[in-house]
Amino acid sequence: MSQLFTPYSIGPLTLENRIVIAPMCQYSAEDGHATDWHRIHLGQLAFSGAGLLIIEATAVEPAGRISPADLGLWSDSTEAALAGVIDSVRKYSKMPLAIQLGHAGRKASNPLPWVGGPALREAQGGWQTVAPSALSFNEHDATPLALDQAGLQRVLQAFVTAAQRAHRIGFDAIEIHAAHGYLLHQFLSPLSNARTDEYGGSQENRMRFPLQVFDAVREALPASVPVGIRISATDWVEGGWDIAQSVVFAQALAKRHCAFIHVSSGGLSPLQAITPAPDYQVPLAARIRAESGLPTIAVGLVTDAEQAEAIVANGHADMVGVARVMLYDPHWPWHAAAKLGAQVTAPPQYWRSQPHGVHKLFK
């Protein structure tokens, strides 16, 4: 039996299989509001047969957007727009849905990625960015404003309120974004956190604000809603955040009933030295799983069924996250199930698409 296609539970939420569609920014919102693009995009992914769909990084306040076109969940109107999209998806798909809540910190206020160019200044439609310290991501960016106590409390409350909104409109799980060089990752890494108060210096201090955010979100939601986190397990820069520190962070999260940890890497510094290759991040997930006991999602150039199967079957991770390959092939889980002799849930309108000679694929 394929291990990739066995059920798995994260807290009280049971997934049909171990395939997780990882968050993928679409840069297609209007003032934070979900649009018809999201309805079409998420609708096709919800027909894919994956075990869980985590929608894109969603800003908890306007200043937390990566770009002006980022999805947001900070007001009644952004909540209503996203609720409409989720209602449409729910009408035709029973796939569990999670949302990734984040704040870009010093990496906010950027142009659309397909436009390119330096960070946007206020005269170009950008805004003042914030961060743990007044250290910019690169020399071309404006200097971020170091968060004071009032700013920290504002951001923490924004995470809580966004999580409550997400629960209200029917998301099954929450993923807190503490990876890829965004705000919570900026607190963790000594490369971006030069504070001298209780939020900087030692690893315990650098973990303090991300853990406070996790605690506050966890406390604000019913126990029936799993709350997990995505981290970058290493900065890939000497002297930065690394796997050993990530293990300590994961152990602290495990004590707080974190439902899962989604293990990525990099994104904090333009000096990072990464050589991407198939499974290059899987050892990071495997170590965190072994040393923290947390359920893990492994990611990183996972593109074929046998590769994903081996990750789960060999105990390197509990789930496998796929992202870019899903954009290229939105029915990737169907094709993986066909290769591995498994079944997936698909709409009955699509059942007759099964190729001749393939075992009973759809259920």
Domains of the chain from N-terminus onward: 8-353 (3.20.20.70)
Can you state the angle between helices 332-340 and 305-313, rounded to 10 degrees?
Answer: 70
pLDDT of residue 139: 87
Is 182 known to be catalytic?
yes
Amino acid identity of residue 346, one-letter, is A
For the chain, report the end-to-end CA distance as a whole number of angstroms. 16
pLDDT of residue 128: 97
**Under 8 Å CB-to-CB from 155, ≥6 apart: which residues?**
60, 61, 64, 103, 130, 147, 183, 213
Can you state the angle between helices 76-92 and 36-45, rounded to 10 degrees?
Answer: 40
Give the span between the Cα atoms of 319 and 299, in whole angstroms: 9
Q: Name the active-site residue from 182, 199, 280, 350.
A: 182
Tell me the sheet residues that pair with 99.
Answer: 55, 174
pLDDT of residue 140: 87
pLDDT of residue 226: 98
pLDDT of residue 58: 98
pLDDT of residue 80: 98
Low-confidence ranges of the chain (pLDDT < 70): none
- Could you tell me the pTM of the whole model? 0.97
